[in-house]
Structure 1
Amino acid sequence: MNTEPVLIRSDGIKKDDDKSDNCKIDKGNIDKGNLDEEDVDKEKIDKEKIDKEKIDEKKVDKGRVVVSWTGGKDGCLACYGAILEGFEVTHLLNFREIQRRGSHDINPALLYAQAEALGIPLIHKDFISYEQEFKKAVRELRDSGEIIDGAVFGHIETHKNLVDRICRELGLELIMPLWQRSSGQIINDLTGLGFEVILLSVKADLLGKEWLGRKIDENFICDLKKHNPSIDPCGENGEFHTFVTNCPLFKNKINVTESEMVLRGGYWFLEISKLEAGKK
Protein backbone atom coordinates (compact mmCIF):
# COMPACT_ATOMS: atom_id res chain seq x y z
CA MET A 1 0.00 0.00 0.00
CA ASN A 2 1.24 3.48 -0.83
CA THR A 3 2.51 5.29 2.26
CA GLU A 4 3.67 8.46 0.53
CA PRO A 5 1.76 11.55 1.71
CA VAL A 6 -1.24 12.45 -0.39
CA LEU A 7 -1.15 16.20 -0.95
CA ILE A 8 -4.72 17.12 -1.77
CA ARG A 9 -4.49 20.20 -3.96
CA SER A 10 -6.71 21.01 -6.90
CA ASP A 11 -4.36 23.66 -8.28
CA GLY A 12 -0.97 21.96 -7.89
CA ILE A 13 0.48 25.02 -6.14
CA LYS A 14 3.62 24.34 -4.15
CA LYS A 15 4.37 26.21 -0.97
CA ASP A 16 6.90 28.51 -2.62
CA ASP A 17 4.32 29.50 -5.25
CA ASP A 18 1.61 30.25 -2.70
CA LYS A 19 1.35 34.03 -2.29
CA SER A 20 -1.48 34.24 0.23
CA ASP A 21 0.49 35.45 3.24
CA ASN A 22 -0.53 39.04 2.55
CA CYS A 23 -2.48 40.85 5.23
CA LYS A 24 -5.71 40.90 3.24
CA ILE A 25 -7.38 37.62 2.38
CA ASP A 26 -7.75 36.98 -1.34
CA LYS A 27 -11.38 35.99 -1.67
CA GLY A 28 -10.89 35.06 -5.29
CA ASN A 29 -8.28 32.38 -4.59
CA ILE A 30 -10.14 29.84 -2.49
CA ASP A 31 -9.22 26.18 -2.77
CA LYS A 32 -12.65 24.54 -3.03
CA GLY A 33 -11.28 21.13 -3.92
CA ASN A 34 -12.17 19.31 -7.11
CA LEU A 35 -15.89 20.07 -7.19
CA ASP A 36 -17.53 18.75 -10.33
CA GLU A 37 -17.89 21.71 -12.71
CA GLU A 38 -20.91 20.07 -14.40
CA ASP A 39 -22.84 20.25 -11.13
CA VAL A 40 -21.45 23.38 -9.54
CA ASP A 41 -20.62 26.77 -11.02
CA LYS A 42 -17.53 27.67 -8.99
CA GLU A 43 -18.10 31.38 -9.51
CA LYS A 44 -21.49 31.16 -7.79
CA ILE A 45 -20.51 29.07 -4.76
CA ASP A 46 -21.73 30.65 -1.54
CA LYS A 47 -18.45 31.14 0.29
CA GLU A 48 -20.14 30.85 3.68
CA LYS A 49 -21.74 27.47 3.03
CA ILE A 50 -20.85 24.43 0.91
CA ASP A 51 -23.74 22.11 0.10
CA LYS A 52 -22.93 18.79 1.77
CA GLU A 53 -24.73 16.97 -1.05
CA LYS A 54 -21.97 18.08 -3.41
CA ILE A 55 -19.41 16.50 -1.08
CA ASP A 56 -21.37 13.25 -1.19
CA GLU A 57 -21.49 13.37 -5.00
CA LYS A 58 -17.71 13.70 -5.13
CA LYS A 59 -17.03 10.49 -3.20
CA VAL A 60 -15.21 7.87 -5.27
CA ASP A 61 -14.46 5.34 -2.53
CA LYS A 62 -10.71 5.83 -2.15
CA GLY A 63 -10.70 3.98 1.14
CA ARG A 64 -11.67 4.11 4.81
CA VAL A 65 -9.60 6.39 7.02
CA VAL A 66 -9.25 7.73 10.54
CA VAL A 67 -8.55 11.41 11.27
CA SER A 68 -6.20 12.73 13.94
CA TRP A 69 -8.48 15.18 15.76
CA THR A 70 -7.76 18.00 18.22
CA GLY A 71 -10.91 20.06 17.69
CA GLY A 72 -8.95 22.74 15.84
CA LYS A 73 -9.01 24.20 12.36
CA ASP A 74 -6.19 22.23 10.73
CA GLY A 75 -7.51 18.75 11.51
CA CYS A 76 -11.02 19.78 10.54
CA LEU A 77 -9.90 21.30 7.22
CA ALA A 78 -7.81 18.18 6.52
CA CYS A 79 -10.86 16.01 7.25
CA TYR A 80 -12.92 18.12 4.86
CA GLY A 81 -10.28 17.79 2.14
CA ALA A 82 -10.04 14.02 2.57
CA ILE A 83 -13.81 13.57 2.34
CA LEU A 84 -13.95 15.82 -0.72
CA GLU A 85 -11.33 13.62 -2.37
CA GLY A 86 -13.39 10.47 -1.82
CA PHE A 87 -12.11 9.02 1.45
CA GLU A 88 -14.62 7.69 3.98
CA VAL A 89 -13.85 8.84 7.53
CA THR A 90 -14.74 6.09 9.99
CA HIS A 91 -13.46 7.59 13.25
CA LEU A 92 -11.90 10.69 14.77
CA LEU A 93 -8.93 9.91 17.04
CA ASN A 94 -8.03 12.28 19.86
CA PHE A 95 -5.22 11.76 22.35
CA ARG A 96 -4.61 13.97 25.39
CA GLU A 97 -1.12 14.05 26.85
CA ILE A 98 -1.04 13.15 30.53
CA GLN A 99 2.39 14.43 31.57
CA ARG A 100 2.43 17.79 29.80
CA ARG A 101 -0.63 19.90 29.12
CA GLY A 102 -0.14 22.60 26.49
CA SER A 103 -2.35 24.68 24.23
CA HIS A 104 -4.21 21.55 23.05
CA ASP A 105 -5.53 20.78 26.54
CA ILE A 106 -9.23 20.77 25.63
CA ASN A 107 -12.32 19.51 27.43
CA PRO A 108 -13.29 16.21 25.73
CA ALA A 109 -16.96 17.28 25.87
CA LEU A 110 -16.19 19.87 23.17
CA LEU A 111 -14.73 17.19 20.92
CA TYR A 112 -17.74 14.93 21.38
CA ALA A 113 -19.99 17.85 20.43
CA GLN A 114 -18.03 18.21 17.18
CA ALA A 115 -18.20 14.47 16.54
CA GLU A 116 -21.97 14.56 16.97
CA ALA A 117 -22.24 17.50 14.58
CA LEU A 118 -20.16 15.56 12.05
CA GLY A 119 -21.93 12.25 12.59
CA ILE A 120 -18.54 10.51 12.98
CA PRO A 121 -17.56 8.50 16.10
CA LEU A 122 -14.80 9.92 18.31
CA ILE A 123 -12.24 7.85 20.19
CA HIS A 124 -10.64 9.85 23.01
CA LYS A 125 -7.74 8.53 25.10
CA ASP A 126 -5.04 9.87 27.39
CA PHE A 127 -1.49 9.04 26.41
CA ILE A 128 2.12 9.02 27.49
CA SER A 129 3.36 7.98 24.03
CA TYR A 130 1.26 9.39 21.18
CA GLU A 131 2.79 6.96 18.70
CA GLN A 132 2.04 3.87 20.74
CA GLU A 133 -1.50 4.98 21.61
CA PHE A 134 -2.31 5.81 17.98
CA LYS A 135 -1.08 2.40 16.81
CA LYS A 136 -3.03 0.68 19.58
CA ALA A 137 -6.25 2.50 18.64
CA VAL A 138 -5.98 1.53 14.96
CA ARG A 139 -5.15 -2.08 15.80
CA GLU A 140 -8.13 -2.27 18.16
CA LEU A 141 -10.41 -0.92 15.43
CA ARG A 142 -9.11 -3.52 12.99
CA ASP A 143 -9.48 -6.29 15.58
CA SER A 144 -13.12 -5.27 15.98
CA GLY A 145 -13.68 -5.78 12.25
CA GLU A 146 -13.17 -2.23 10.96
CA ILE A 147 -11.35 -1.78 7.66
CA ILE A 148 -8.87 1.09 8.04
CA ASP A 149 -6.89 1.96 4.90
CA GLY A 150 -5.34 5.30 5.82
CA ALA A 151 -4.90 8.11 8.32
CA VAL A 152 -5.47 11.85 7.87
CA PHE A 153 -3.35 14.45 9.65
CA GLY A 154 -3.63 18.24 9.63
CA HIS A 155 0.09 18.92 10.05
CA ILE A 156 1.52 21.80 8.03
CA GLU A 157 5.25 21.96 8.84
CA THR A 158 6.02 19.49 11.63
CA HIS A 159 5.73 15.85 12.76
CA LYS A 160 5.95 14.32 9.27
CA ASN A 161 8.63 11.80 10.27
CA LEU A 162 6.48 10.67 13.19
CA VAL A 163 3.24 10.17 11.26
CA ASP A 164 5.10 8.65 8.31
CA ARG A 165 6.59 6.04 10.64
CA ILE A 166 3.21 5.35 12.27
CA CYS A 167 1.49 4.83 8.93
CA ARG A 168 4.31 2.75 7.48
CA GLU A 169 4.30 0.36 10.43
CA LEU A 170 0.51 0.03 10.32
CA GLY A 171 0.37 -0.27 6.52
CA LEU A 172 -1.76 2.87 6.27
CA GLU A 173 -1.89 5.43 3.50
CA LEU A 174 -0.62 8.75 4.86
CA ILE A 175 -2.93 11.63 3.90
CA MET A 176 -1.70 15.17 4.64
CA PRO A 177 -3.89 17.68 2.79
CA LEU A 178 -2.26 20.76 4.36
CA TRP A 179 1.39 19.72 4.20
CA GLN A 180 3.65 22.68 3.33
CA ARG A 181 0.73 24.94 2.49
CA SER A 182 1.24 28.56 3.51
CA SER A 183 -0.56 29.73 6.63
CA GLY A 184 -2.13 32.57 4.67
CA GLN A 185 -3.68 30.21 2.13
CA ILE A 186 -5.05 27.97 4.87
CA ILE A 187 -6.72 30.93 6.60
CA ASN A 188 -7.99 32.00 3.18
CA ASP A 189 -9.58 28.59 2.62
CA LEU A 190 -11.13 28.46 6.09
CA THR A 191 -12.88 31.80 5.78
CA GLY A 192 -13.83 31.29 2.14
CA LEU A 193 -15.35 27.86 2.66
CA GLY A 194 -17.49 28.95 5.59
CA PHE A 195 -15.55 27.46 8.51
CA GLU A 196 -16.33 29.20 11.80
CA VAL A 197 -13.35 29.03 14.14
CA ILE A 198 -12.51 30.66 17.47
CA LEU A 199 -9.31 30.90 19.52
CA LEU A 200 -9.61 28.52 22.45
CA SER A 201 -6.18 29.02 24.03
CA VAL A 202 -3.32 31.50 23.58
CA LYS A 203 0.25 31.64 24.82
CA ALA A 204 0.17 34.23 27.59
CA ASP A 205 3.49 35.90 26.77
CA LEU A 206 2.41 36.50 23.16
CA LEU A 207 -1.34 37.10 23.24
CA GLY A 208 -3.57 38.48 25.98
CA LYS A 209 -6.78 36.93 27.23
CA GLU A 210 -8.76 39.38 25.09
CA TRP A 211 -7.90 37.15 22.12
CA LEU A 212 -9.83 34.23 23.60
CA GLY A 213 -13.01 33.58 21.65
CA ARG A 214 -11.74 35.71 18.77
CA LYS A 215 -13.10 34.48 15.44
CA ILE A 216 -10.77 33.74 12.56
CA ASP A 217 -12.27 36.05 9.97
CA GLU A 218 -11.16 38.23 7.07
CA ASN A 219 -9.39 40.65 9.43
CA PHE A 220 -7.61 38.02 11.52
CA ILE A 221 -4.24 38.04 9.73
CA CYS A 222 -4.12 41.85 9.67
CA ASP A 223 -4.96 42.16 13.35
CA LEU A 224 -2.46 39.46 14.29
CA LYS A 225 0.34 41.11 12.32
CA LYS A 226 -0.40 44.48 13.90
CA HIS A 227 -0.25 42.93 17.37
CA ASN A 228 2.87 40.81 16.82
CA PRO A 229 4.20 40.13 13.31
CA SER A 230 6.26 37.16 14.54
CA ILE A 231 3.15 35.08 15.30
CA ASP A 232 2.28 32.52 12.65
CA PRO A 233 -1.32 33.00 11.39
CA CYS A 234 -1.98 29.28 11.90
CA GLY A 235 -0.29 29.13 15.31
CA GLU A 236 2.28 26.66 13.99
CA ASN A 237 4.70 27.46 16.81
CA GLY A 238 2.20 26.81 19.59
CA GLU A 239 1.06 30.43 19.83
CA PHE A 240 -2.61 29.45 20.03
CA HIS A 241 -5.09 26.62 19.53
CA THR A 242 -8.50 26.85 17.92
CA PHE A 243 -11.95 25.28 18.12
CA VAL A 244 -14.24 24.79 15.12
CA THR A 245 -17.85 25.72 15.86
CA ASN A 246 -19.18 25.25 12.32
CA CYS A 247 -18.01 23.94 8.96
CA PRO A 248 -19.52 22.57 5.73
CA LEU A 249 -19.52 19.05 7.21
CA PHE A 250 -21.43 19.91 10.41
CA LYS A 251 -25.15 19.20 10.54
CA ASN A 252 -25.52 21.91 13.20
CA LYS A 253 -23.55 24.83 14.59
CA ILE A 254 -21.99 24.66 18.05
CA ASN A 255 -22.88 27.72 20.12
CA VAL A 256 -20.83 28.59 23.20
CA THR A 257 -23.22 29.82 25.91
CA GLU A 258 -21.10 29.74 29.08
CA SER A 259 -17.34 30.13 29.51
CA GLU A 260 -14.61 31.69 31.62
CA MET A 261 -10.98 32.73 31.05
CA VAL A 262 -8.37 30.76 32.98
CA LEU A 263 -4.57 31.13 33.13
CA ARG A 264 -2.83 27.76 33.33
CA GLY A 265 0.67 26.58 32.46
CA GLY A 266 1.61 29.75 30.61
CA TYR A 267 -1.55 29.75 28.48
CA TRP A 268 -4.84 31.58 28.67
CA PHE A 269 -7.72 29.14 28.13
CA LEU A 270 -11.34 29.76 27.29
CA GLU A 271 -12.89 27.16 29.58
CA ILE A 272 -16.23 26.37 27.97
CA SER A 273 -18.77 24.96 30.41
CA LYS A 274 -21.91 24.97 28.28
CA LEU A 275 -22.64 24.39 24.60
CA GLU A 276 -25.81 24.36 22.53
CA ALA A 277 -26.54 22.95 19.10
CA GLY A 278 -27.65 25.74 16.78
CA LYS A 279 -29.20 25.93 13.34
CA LYS A 280 -26.92 26.19 10.32
Structure 2
Amino acid sequence: MKRLALSWSGGKDGCLALDVLVKQGIEVSCLVTTVPYEIGRTFGHGEKMEMIKLQGEALGIPVHFIECTFEEYTQRFVQDLMELKERHVLTGIAFGDLYFEPHREWGEKVASEAGLEAVYPLWMDEKSALNALKTFVDSGYKSTVIRVREDVLDDSWLGRRLDTFFLKDIQHHNVCPMGEAGEYHTYVYDGPLFKQKILLGQPVVVKLETTKKLEYRDYSLITK
Protein backbone atom coordinates (compact mmCIF):
# COMPACT_ATOMS: atom_id res chain seq x y z
CA MET A 1 0.00 0.00 0.00
CA LYS A 2 1.19 3.50 -0.81
CA ARG A 3 1.96 5.74 2.16
CA LEU A 4 2.71 9.30 1.18
CA ALA A 5 3.82 12.60 2.59
CA LEU A 6 2.05 15.55 0.96
CA SER A 7 3.71 18.88 0.23
CA TRP A 8 1.38 21.36 1.91
CA SER A 9 1.13 25.16 1.86
CA GLY A 10 -2.41 25.42 3.17
CA GLY A 11 -4.22 26.23 -0.07
CA LYS A 12 -6.65 24.71 -2.52
CA ASP A 13 -4.12 22.77 -4.65
CA GLY A 14 -2.74 20.76 -1.75
CA CYS A 15 -6.24 20.19 -0.43
CA LEU A 16 -7.50 18.99 -3.81
CA ALA A 17 -4.48 16.68 -4.10
CA LEU A 18 -5.25 15.30 -0.63
CA ASP A 19 -8.87 14.69 -1.61
CA VAL A 20 -7.87 12.83 -4.79
CA LEU A 21 -5.33 10.68 -2.96
CA VAL A 22 -7.75 9.70 -0.17
CA LYS A 23 -10.42 8.80 -2.73
CA GLN A 24 -7.84 6.55 -4.43
CA GLY A 25 -7.35 4.73 -1.14
CA ILE A 26 -3.85 6.12 -0.59
CA GLU A 27 -2.79 6.92 2.97
CA VAL A 28 -1.40 10.42 3.51
CA SER A 29 0.71 10.00 6.64
CA CYS A 30 1.92 13.57 7.08
CA LEU A 31 1.83 17.06 5.61
CA VAL A 32 5.16 18.71 4.80
CA THR A 33 5.63 22.50 4.87
CA THR A 34 8.83 24.50 4.39
CA VAL A 35 9.54 27.54 6.56
CA PRO A 36 12.53 29.93 6.60
CA TYR A 37 14.56 29.70 9.83
CA GLU A 38 14.21 33.31 10.81
CA ILE A 39 10.67 34.24 9.75
CA GLY A 40 8.39 31.48 11.03
CA ARG A 41 6.19 31.76 7.95
CA THR A 42 5.77 29.29 5.11
CA PHE A 43 7.86 29.65 1.96
CA GLY A 44 4.82 28.99 -0.23
CA HIS A 45 2.21 31.48 0.95
CA GLY A 46 3.90 33.48 3.70
CA GLU A 47 1.40 31.91 6.08
CA LYS A 48 1.95 31.80 9.85
CA MET A 49 3.00 28.40 11.14
CA GLU A 50 0.10 28.39 13.61
CA MET A 51 -2.37 28.51 10.72
CA ILE A 52 -0.82 25.41 9.11
CA LYS A 53 -0.76 23.58 12.46
CA LEU A 54 -4.45 24.37 12.80
CA GLN A 55 -5.19 22.74 9.43
CA GLY A 56 -3.28 19.62 10.40
CA GLU A 57 -5.26 19.40 13.62
CA ALA A 58 -8.55 19.98 11.80
CA LEU A 59 -7.71 17.25 9.27
CA GLY A 60 -6.23 14.87 11.83
CA ILE A 61 -2.94 14.61 9.89
CA PRO A 62 0.44 15.48 11.49
CA VAL A 63 2.35 18.43 10.03
CA HIS A 64 6.13 18.40 9.66
CA PHE A 65 7.89 21.74 9.18
CA ILE A 66 11.15 21.71 7.22
CA GLU A 67 13.08 24.66 8.62
CA CYS A 68 15.69 25.93 6.17
CA THR A 69 17.23 28.88 4.40
CA PHE A 70 16.66 29.54 0.69
CA GLU A 71 20.26 28.47 -0.03
CA GLU A 72 19.93 25.06 1.61
CA TYR A 73 16.26 24.54 0.70
CA THR A 74 16.77 21.45 -1.47
CA GLN A 75 19.37 19.84 0.80
CA ARG A 76 17.20 20.17 3.91
CA PHE A 77 14.10 19.00 2.02
CA VAL A 78 15.88 15.78 1.04
CA GLN A 79 17.32 15.25 4.54
CA ASP A 80 13.93 15.67 6.21
CA LEU A 81 12.23 13.46 3.63
CA MET A 82 14.67 10.67 4.42
CA GLU A 83 13.84 10.99 8.14
CA LEU A 84 10.10 11.05 7.43
CA LYS A 85 10.49 8.02 5.17
CA GLU A 86 11.79 6.00 8.14
CA ARG A 87 9.37 7.44 10.70
CA HIS A 88 6.20 6.95 8.65
CA VAL A 89 7.37 4.08 6.39
CA LEU A 90 6.69 6.26 3.35
CA THR A 91 6.69 5.06 -0.23
CA GLY A 92 6.48 8.51 -1.80
CA ILE A 93 5.71 12.20 -1.59
CA ALA A 94 2.85 13.93 -3.39
CA PHE A 95 2.82 17.48 -4.76
CA GLY A 96 -0.16 19.64 -5.73
CA ASP A 97 1.48 21.20 -8.80
CA LEU A 98 -0.73 21.39 -11.88
CA TYR A 99 1.38 21.94 -15.00
CA PHE A 100 4.51 24.00 -14.24
CA GLU A 101 7.24 21.66 -15.46
CA PRO A 102 10.22 23.12 -13.48
CA HIS A 103 8.35 22.47 -10.22
CA ARG A 104 7.76 18.86 -11.23
CA GLU A 105 11.40 18.38 -12.22
CA TRP A 106 12.48 19.66 -8.80
CA GLY A 107 9.97 17.47 -6.97
CA GLU A 108 11.03 14.36 -8.84
CA LYS A 109 14.67 15.16 -8.12
CA VAL A 110 14.28 15.52 -4.34
CA ALA A 111 12.00 12.48 -4.14
CA SER A 112 14.52 10.38 -6.04
CA GLU A 113 17.38 11.51 -3.79
CA ALA A 114 15.32 10.49 -0.74
CA GLY A 115 14.49 7.12 -2.31
CA LEU A 116 10.80 7.95 -2.72
CA GLU A 117 8.26 8.08 -5.55
CA ALA A 118 7.10 11.55 -6.66
CA VAL A 119 3.32 11.63 -7.10
CA TYR A 120 1.39 14.38 -8.94
CA PRO A 121 -2.33 13.59 -8.54
CA LEU A 122 -3.50 16.84 -10.16
CA TRP A 123 -1.12 16.97 -13.15
CA MET A 124 -2.89 18.36 -16.22
CA ASP A 125 -2.58 20.49 -19.35
CA GLU A 126 -2.56 24.23 -18.76
CA LYS A 127 -5.87 24.60 -20.60
CA SER A 128 -7.52 22.33 -18.00
CA ALA A 129 -6.89 24.79 -15.13
CA LEU A 130 -10.37 26.32 -15.34
CA ASN A 131 -11.96 22.88 -15.02
CA ALA A 132 -9.72 22.23 -12.02
CA LEU A 133 -11.00 25.39 -10.35
CA LYS A 134 -14.58 24.32 -11.05
CA THR A 135 -13.79 20.93 -9.50
CA PHE A 136 -12.57 22.64 -6.35
CA VAL A 137 -15.56 25.00 -6.20
CA ASP A 138 -17.90 21.99 -6.48
CA SER A 139 -15.91 19.85 -4.02
CA GLY A 140 -17.41 21.06 -0.76
CA TYR A 141 -14.12 22.53 0.51
CA LYS A 142 -14.19 26.10 1.81
CA SER A 143 -11.29 28.37 0.91
CA THR A 144 -10.56 32.09 0.98
CA VAL A 145 -8.05 34.22 -0.94
CA ILE A 146 -5.27 35.27 1.45
CA ARG A 147 -2.63 36.70 -0.90
CA VAL A 148 -2.56 38.42 -4.30
CA ARG A 149 0.18 39.54 -6.66
CA GLU A 150 -0.36 43.27 -7.00
CA ASP A 151 0.66 43.38 -10.67
CA VAL A 152 -2.29 41.18 -11.69
CA LEU A 153 -5.01 41.32 -9.00
CA ASP A 154 -5.90 44.17 -6.65
CA ASP A 155 -6.62 43.75 -2.96
CA SER A 156 -10.39 43.63 -3.51
CA TRP A 157 -9.79 39.91 -4.16
CA LEU A 158 -8.48 39.37 -0.63
CA GLY A 159 -10.97 37.53 1.54
CA ARG A 160 -13.03 36.28 -1.39
CA ARG A 161 -14.43 32.77 -1.13
CA LEU A 162 -13.68 30.35 -3.95
CA ASP A 163 -17.26 29.96 -5.13
CA THR A 164 -19.24 30.21 -8.38
CA PHE A 165 -18.89 34.02 -8.38
CA PHE A 166 -15.11 33.70 -8.06
CA LEU A 167 -15.08 31.13 -10.87
CA LYS A 168 -16.95 33.55 -13.13
CA ASP A 169 -14.96 36.67 -12.25
CA ILE A 170 -11.45 35.20 -12.47
CA GLN A 171 -12.03 34.43 -16.16
CA HIS A 172 -12.11 38.18 -16.89
CA HIS A 173 -8.47 38.56 -15.84
CA ASN A 174 -5.31 37.54 -17.67
CA VAL A 175 -4.26 35.00 -15.04
CA CYS A 176 -4.23 31.25 -14.59
CA PRO A 177 -7.66 30.45 -13.09
CA MET A 178 -5.89 28.30 -10.48
CA GLY A 179 -3.18 30.88 -9.78
CA GLU A 180 -0.41 28.49 -10.85
CA ALA A 181 2.00 31.42 -11.38
CA GLY A 182 1.33 32.74 -7.88
CA GLU A 183 -1.31 35.25 -8.98
CA TYR A 184 -3.25 34.42 -5.84
CA HIS A 185 -2.99 32.08 -2.86
CA THR A 186 -5.70 30.58 -0.69
CA TYR A 187 -6.32 29.11 2.74
CA VAL A 188 -8.67 26.14 3.18
CA TYR A 189 -10.66 26.14 6.41
CA ASP A 190 -13.34 23.44 6.01
CA GLY A 191 -14.50 20.60 3.81
CA PRO A 192 -15.31 16.89 3.57
CA LEU A 193 -12.01 15.65 5.07
CA PHE A 194 -11.97 18.23 7.86
CA LYS A 195 -12.89 16.69 11.20
CA GLN A 196 -13.20 20.21 12.64
CA LYS A 197 -13.86 23.58 11.02
CA ILE A 198 -11.44 26.50 11.31
CA LEU A 199 -13.19 29.71 12.33
CA LEU A 200 -11.46 32.85 11.00
CA GLY A 201 -11.95 36.38 12.29
CA GLN A 202 -10.51 39.91 12.57
CA PRO A 203 -8.81 40.07 9.14
CA VAL A 204 -6.18 42.74 8.41
CA VAL A 205 -4.29 43.44 5.17
CA VAL A 206 -0.48 43.49 5.27
CA LYS A 207 1.95 44.31 2.46
CA LEU A 208 4.70 41.78 1.67
CA GLU A 209 7.13 42.85 -1.09
CA THR A 210 5.15 42.63 -4.37
CA THR A 211 2.07 41.09 -2.80
CA LYS A 212 -0.66 41.94 -0.32
CA LYS A 213 -1.78 39.40 2.25
CA LEU A 214 -4.83 38.93 4.41
CA GLU A 215 -4.01 37.94 7.97
CA TYR A 216 -6.50 36.69 10.52
CA ARG A 217 -5.82 37.77 14.08
CA ASP A 218 -8.47 35.45 15.48
CA TYR A 219 -8.69 31.76 14.59
CA SER A 220 -9.94 28.65 16.34
CA LEU A 221 -11.30 25.16 15.78
CA ILE A 222 -14.99 24.41 16.18
CA THR A 223 -16.75 21.06 16.25
CA LYS A 224 -18.73 20.25 13.12
TM-score by length of 2: 0.89
User: Partners in 2 of 1:233 and 1:142 — Cα distance?
Assistant: 34
Quick one: which of 152, 156, 160 aligns to 2:94? 152
Partner of 2:209: 265
Separation of aligned partners in 1, 2:158 and 2:214: 6
Distance 2:85 2:112 in 1: 16
The alpha carbon displacement at 1:179 in A equals 0.7
Could you say which residue in structure 2 is the equivalent of 1:64? Answer: 3
Provide the C-alpha distance between the structure 2 equivalents of 1:193 and 1:89, rounded to a whole number of angstroms: 19
- Which residue does the alignment assign to 1:40? none
> Pick from 76, 85, 88: which aligns with 1:133?
76
User: Residue 154 of structure 2: which of 192, 205, 208 is its match?
Assistant: 208
Q: Name the structure 1 match of 2:163.
A: 217
Does residue 81 in structure 1 map to residue 20 in structure 2?
Answer: yes
Partner Cα separation in structure 1 for residue 77 and residue 212 of structure 2: 28
Deviation at 1:76, TM superposition (A): 1.1
Unaligned runs of 5+ in 2: none
Residue 137 of structure 2 aligns to a residue whose secondary structure is: helix
| Aligned 8 A contact 1:200 1:213 in 2 | yes
What's the counterpart of residue 118 of structure 1? 59
Select the residue among 124, 129, 134 that pairs with 1:180.
Answer: 124
Equivalent residue letter for 2:220: E
Q: Cα deviations across residues 195-245 of structure 1 (Å, max 9, x unaligned)?
A: 11110100122222221110010121321233x2x1111111111111001
Per the alignment, residue 59 of structure 1 pairs with none
1:97 shift after superposition? 4.2
- Shift in alpha-carbon separation, 1:219–1:83, aligned structure 2, 3 A: same
Q: How many residues align?
A: 216
Question: How far apart are 1:81 and its partner, in Å?
Answer: 0.9
What secondary structure sits across from 2:28 in the alignment?
Answer: strand
Runs of 4+ in 1 over 3 A off after TM superposition: 97-103
How much has 1:278 moved relative to structure 2?
Answer: 3.0
Percent of pairs identical after alignment?
32
Which sits farther off after the overlay, 127-136 or 190-199?
127-136
Structure with bigger strand share is 2
Residues 72, 243 of structure 1: 8 Å contact kept = yes
The equivalent of 1:95 in structure 2 is 34
Please list every run of 5 or more consecutive structure 1 residues that lacks an aligned counterpart in the other structure. Answer: 1-61
Question: Secondary structure at the residue paired with 2:153?
Answer: coil
- 2:214 aligned counterpart, secondary structure: strand
Name 1:24's counterpart in structure 2: none
The answer (yes or no) to whether the contact 1:245–1:253 under 8 Å persists in 2 is: yes
Note if contact 1:103-1:238 (Cα within 8 Å) is conserved in structure 2: no
AA aligned opposite 1:139: M
TM-superposed deviation, 1:142: 3.7
Deviations 1:221-275 (A, max 9, x none): 321233x2x1111111111111001121101211111220111201110012211
Match of 1:194 among 123, 140, 152: 140
1:171 aligns with 2:115: yes
Q: Matches of 1:271 and 1:183 in 2, distance apart?
A: 27
The CA distance in 1 between the partners of 2:2 and 2:170, in whole Å, is 39
Q: Return the offset for 1:169.
A: 2.0
Q: Distance in 2 between matches of 1:65 and 1:208?
A: 37
Q: Deviations over 1:121-156 (max 9, x none)?
A: 10113322332222111222245x430111110001
Greater Cα radius of gyration, structure 1 or 2: 1
CA RMSD of aligned residues (A): 2.0
